[in-house]
Amino acid sequence: MNGMGARDPVGPPLMDDAMELLTPPPNRLADADVLAHGREILRSEAQAILQAAETLDASFCRAVEMIKACTGSVVVTGMGKAGLVARKISATLASTGTPSHFLHPSEALHGDLGALRRDDIVLAMSQSGETEEITRLLPHIGARQIKIIAITGRAQSTLGRAADVVVATGNVSEACSIGLAPSTSTTLLLSLGDSVALVTSAMRQFTPQDFADRHPGGTLGRQLTSVEDAMRPVGQCRTASPCDTVRAVFARPLPVRRTGAVMIIDKTGCLTGIFTDSDLARLFEHRNDAALDAPIDAVMTRQPTTIVAGTCLRDAVMIMEVRRLSELPVVDREGRPVGLLDIVDMVGMVPATMLEIPLELPGAAAA
């Protein structure tokens, strides 16, 4: 039996003490400390890139020339974190005009060496240049007389000595607090790999259309497609002659899909004006009923903004965004209409947040 002042050893107070011991202390780092650490890491990696830019030498030029002259594929390899970077660089090469694929160094020793051809080039990525899986692969690449480009820390490493060209990253201090986790080194591998790929692409005179041909899917593909892929063909649009009355035009059966504009075409087949639903609404608002039975060319917008067939859809959407257009006629080089872009069809195709509006709009004839 407990006394008046005794504490029950199994009662709530002891349970509270136990829970306090089991609960980990909260993270007491202030936001300022967290931000300071994050900025320190970013500055450290950025400084390493800037230093690499200053020390880039003729070996970089030789690497680019070798890749540009390659008649096969650039086979990119790397292990661990460097392997993840290598996959990305291979994808960048392939999407910017240089045939490429990734080769896992371990899988290569178990049959995937068969993916290598005599006219290929191997681009090997390893900061230490001593990664076991990479060094074991090197004699087999050499036996096939395939040239090697190495992006590595030291030209005198095992990888560096086996390579035909070495793009050196130099000595690197990792940005992590214990100095071990690949961070600055992988950032350098990525940056140098991108540089090699993109300079090679520029030397190939790789065009936006070439890029579009390799990116037909997703939001990026939709941005890079041409206006013909999104427009309503002229046969599905409302058209009129300049002498047609407004009433007659709107009394006609609608095309397959309703459009918010009528394109007025003269006797030569060229676009001479446009009349929109907004124009019709203004006639009613101003009680201008007489205009309904007048020729449509009296109330149409002359010399409307147009875009030339073959223009990138992204440019067309920029024009519609900047000029607040709901409809944009598509014409050929002679000014004959071939279709119409309607905002209803554009909604969701290219997010406005992905547009970079230029000071001068491409491909448009001003109203």
The residue among 215 and 93 whose pLDDT is bigger is 93
Q: Dig out the tokens for 113 from the structure.
A: 């060496």
What pLDDT, on the 0 to 100 scale, is given for residue 252? 86
Domain co-membership, 350 together with 227: yes
What pLDDT, on the 0 to 100 scale, is given for residue 367? 42
* 8, part of any domain: no
CATH of the domain at 306: 3.10.580.10
| pLDDT classification of 25: cutoffs 50, 70, 90 | low
* 6, part of any domain: no
Tens digits of residue pLDDT in 231-240? 999 989 999 9
Strands 337-342, 327-331: pairing is antiparallel
Domain co-membership, 165 together with 86: yes
* 158, part of any domain: yes
Domain boundary among 177, 206, 235: 206
Domain co-membership, 196 together with 66: yes
* 213, part of any domain: no
- Tell me: pLDDT of 273 over 50: yes
CA distance 14 to 22: 13
Amino acid at 150: A
- Which helix or strand (DSSP H or E) is residue 89 part of? helix 80-95
- Tell me: pLDDT of 217 over 80: no
* 242, part of any domain: yes
What pLDDT, on the 0 to 100 scale, is given for residue 212? 72
Helix (H, G, I), strand (E, B) or coil at 44: helix
What pLDDT, on the 0 to 100 scale, is given for residue 192? 97
- Tell me: pLDDT of 132 over 80: yes
Lowest mean pLDDT among 25-29, 124-128, 158-162, 206-210: 25-29
Q: What percent of the chain has pLDDT over 90?
A: 60
Strands 337-342, 121-126: pairing is unpaired
Tens digits of residue pLDDT in 71-120? 999 999 999 999 999 999 999 999 999 999 999 999 999 999 999 999 99
Q: What is the DSSP letter of 227?
A: G
Burial letters 27-63, b for 16+ CB under 10 A, else e: eeeeeeeeeeeeeebeebbeebeeebeeeeeebbeeb
Domain co-membership, 85 together with 226: no
Domain boundary among 150, 178, 206: 206
Query: In terms of pTM, does the model score above 0.95?
Result: no
CA distance 318 to 117: 45
| Averaged pLDDT of the chain | 86
CA trace torsion 165, 166, 167, 168 (10° rounding) = -170
CA distance 43 to 65: 32
| pLDDT classification of 19: cutoffs 50, 70, 90 | low
CA distance 53 to 188: 10
The residue among 126 and 350 whose pLDDT is bigger is 126
What pLDDT, on the 0 to 100 scale, is given for residue 365? 55
The residue among 176 and 8 whose pLDDT is bigger is 176
Tens digits of residue pLDDT in 310-357? 888 888 888 888 888 889 999 999 999 999 998 877 765 555 444 444
Lowest mean pLDDT among 41-45, 124-128, 214-218, 273-277: 214-218
What pLDDT, on the 0 to 100 scale, is given for residue 355? 45
| pLDDT classification of 260: cutoffs 50, 70, 90 | confident
* 13, part of any domain: no
What pLDDT, on the 0 to 100 scale, is given for residue 176? 85
Q: Domain of 355?
A: 222-365
- Tell me: pLDDT of 2 over 50: no
Domain co-membership, 310 together with 240: yes
- Tell me: pLDDT of 215 over 90: no
What pLDDT, on the 0 to 100 scale, is given for residue 270? 96
Domain co-membership, 181 together with 240: no
Radius of gyration of the chain (CA): 33
- C-alpha 159, offset from chain centre: 32
> Could you identify the residue written with the tokens 């050893």?
9
CA distance 240 to 279: 15
Number of domains in the chain: 2
CATH of the domain at 113: 3.40.50.10490
Domain co-membership, 187 together with 229: no
Domain boundary among 182, 206, 230: 206
Domain co-membership, 197 together with 277: no
Domain co-membership, 227 together with 201: no
- Tell me: pLDDT of 173 over 60: yes
**Cβ neighbours of 334 (radius 10 Å):** 8
Q: What is the DSSP letter of 25?
A: P
- Tell me: pLDDT of 8 over 60: no
Domain co-membership, 54 together with 195: yes
- Tell me: pLDDT of 363 over 80: no
* 28, part of any domain: no
Lowest mean pLDDT among 125-139, 172-186, 250-264: 250-264
Domain co-membership, 72 together with 181: yes
* 22, part of any domain: no
Domain co-membership, 65 together with 178: yes
- C-alpha 240, offset from chain centre: 41
Tell which residue, 217, 223, 168, 209, has the closest CA to residue 192.
Answer: 168
Indicate the burial class of 105 (C-beta count within 10 angstroms; 0-12, 13-18, 19 or more).
Answer: buried
